[in-house]
Structure 1
Amino acid sequence: MKVKEHFLELSSFNLYDSSQIRFWEDRWFGHLLLKNQYPSLYNITRKKHITVVAVFSSTPLNISFRRALVGDRLQKWKELVSEIALVQLDDQPDSFKWNLSKHGCFTVNSMYRHLVSKHGCFTVNSMYRHLVNQTALPLNKFLWKLKLPLKIKIFVWFLFKGVILTKDNLLKRHWTGDGRCCFCDTNETIQHLFFDCHIAKFVWRVVFLAFGHLQSNLLDTVMERSSKKGKRTATQVGMSISGDHSYGDFCQAR
């Protein structure tokens, strides 16, 4: 629901028959949502998701409140009624407008740019906490621009978010299978399958030694749970090779 609300906050509607537009929670009148313009009224209204056409279906307006309107709330109500008094409905269907693009149509690129400009960068946590020391990495530099197949990039992104369907996550969704790792008897988690399992550790050693970036004893230190700091050299190659390795581990485990 939060994703939907955030999406709608970045859009607006052209009002026609108003059958699909929410009176309080969609941007159809002015530049702000009515729930933000009149929070004291929105907080006590009985039907927060009511559509515009339903509100205008009767005279006076079809809006009821849980409390009597007195004082400031009464003044706000009179102000609201006065502002929307000249609204005229049409028989045509309402139209949606995406406010982040010139042509008004939604694009993934415009949404992505908005999120990057708002949040800047993300912090690598569970996936790379043994390899880097909570280093902030710009998304567009260290992931999406890598020369890897798109499915690998998406898979790595899911790893960052912790939503890969390892067995512990499946059990949370009421899966009834065996929650133990396919390679050993330890409970399978993202951390275990990709880093802590003896098979994963062995493959990481082979990969790093093959690339000549870490000595085996140093890699042992990096991969240990008790490791306090990662190595920058691990970051330099880890982002480019971990996608293939992690994706392969996951496919083999399945």
Structure 2
Amino acid sequence: MVKWADICLPQDRGGLGILASRRMNVALMLDWVWRITLGDGGLWLRLLEAKYLQGIPLLACSCSAGSQFWKSIQAIKEEIRAGLWFSVHNGSGTQFWLDPCLDGAPLRLRFPGLFAICAAPTILVSEAALADRWHFEFFRSFGPAEVLEWNSMREVVPLPLSPEPDSVSSSLSPSGEFSVSSAYQALCRRPVLPWLSPLWKAPMPMKIKIFVWQLLRDRLLSGTEVLKRHGPGNGLRPLCHVPETGMHILFSCVAAQALWCYVREALGPEWVAHNFAEFLQVRATPAGRKRRLFWLVFSALTWTLWTTRNKMVIERVFPRRASDSFFKFLAFLQLWHPLARPRDRGRLQLSLDALLTTARRLSRTPSS
């Protein structure tokens, strides 16, 4: 089983792309926050300014009581800061320690020693810049570490000199404009896996893509996994009489090794599968149609091994010849061939011809 939080991740981050309702709700709330920050609103914005803000910047406002809408905004302040970048002019709209303004990061992270002893962590830049110098109140006097941070801060943080108000841009998109989709992606907090996106664009049925997704997450219901859940069977591979894991079914079993050797002989030495992670890192990263066709061949190969395994474990039907798996693998590729893009079909047909020629040669019975 896969956690629901992982299922709701975007497809290029290892999930199935199902929208997470809470994450989308926060992204939609951030759209309202963006409009408040830019002053883009009518009567509703004037009401918020008069009732809650009263001339204070949104992120600096500590009023937590009020309507459900206002409470929801106050509850996502950290998410708000993660998606904004402040350009300081007069400093009246930027909190010195908390708002990301210098190199896109808040100063509390760059100077943690000073922030830890600061008496006013929510102070505005305009309030801290007095008489052409920085003025802060601290709980205690500086030690050697704080002295170094203070000197460094004075060198890298410029005083606000412009009379213009501070401006805000979105750090989630190159254009600096906010969008709900970019906010939703940022809230996932998972790195993008660029080699995974082509899996979902590969020309094959959706159930096969989900099968490969389960394989990549090591969530196939192999014999050992069924045994953990107190299901039927002893957890052993019928063909090899060893504990049946997903990696054994698809890579270590003699049936799997025969099929991999066949593919390697037909398509080239790069189709070597000793280490699953290393194999994917090398074979799934090339750009363009090669990557799409890789996922097609890899999915057909692993699906062949999995269905063969189910025949043995569930129906107790064993393959009579190794070539049975070869032709079953070819049947899946030919079945999915019409799903390929027109520009990919020529390259796919060349691979099919090479695989078919090799299958016939390997399955030919020697004359006596």
- Could you say whether these structures have the same fold, taking a TM-score greater than 0.5 normalized by the shorter chain as the test? no
Of the two, which has the highest radius of gyration? 2
Query: Which of the pair has the greater relative contact order for Cα pairs under 8 Å at 6+ separation?
Result: 1
| Structure with more helix by fraction | 2
The TM-score, its normalising length taken from structure 2, stands at 0.30
The TM-score, its normalising length taken from structure 1, stands at 0.43
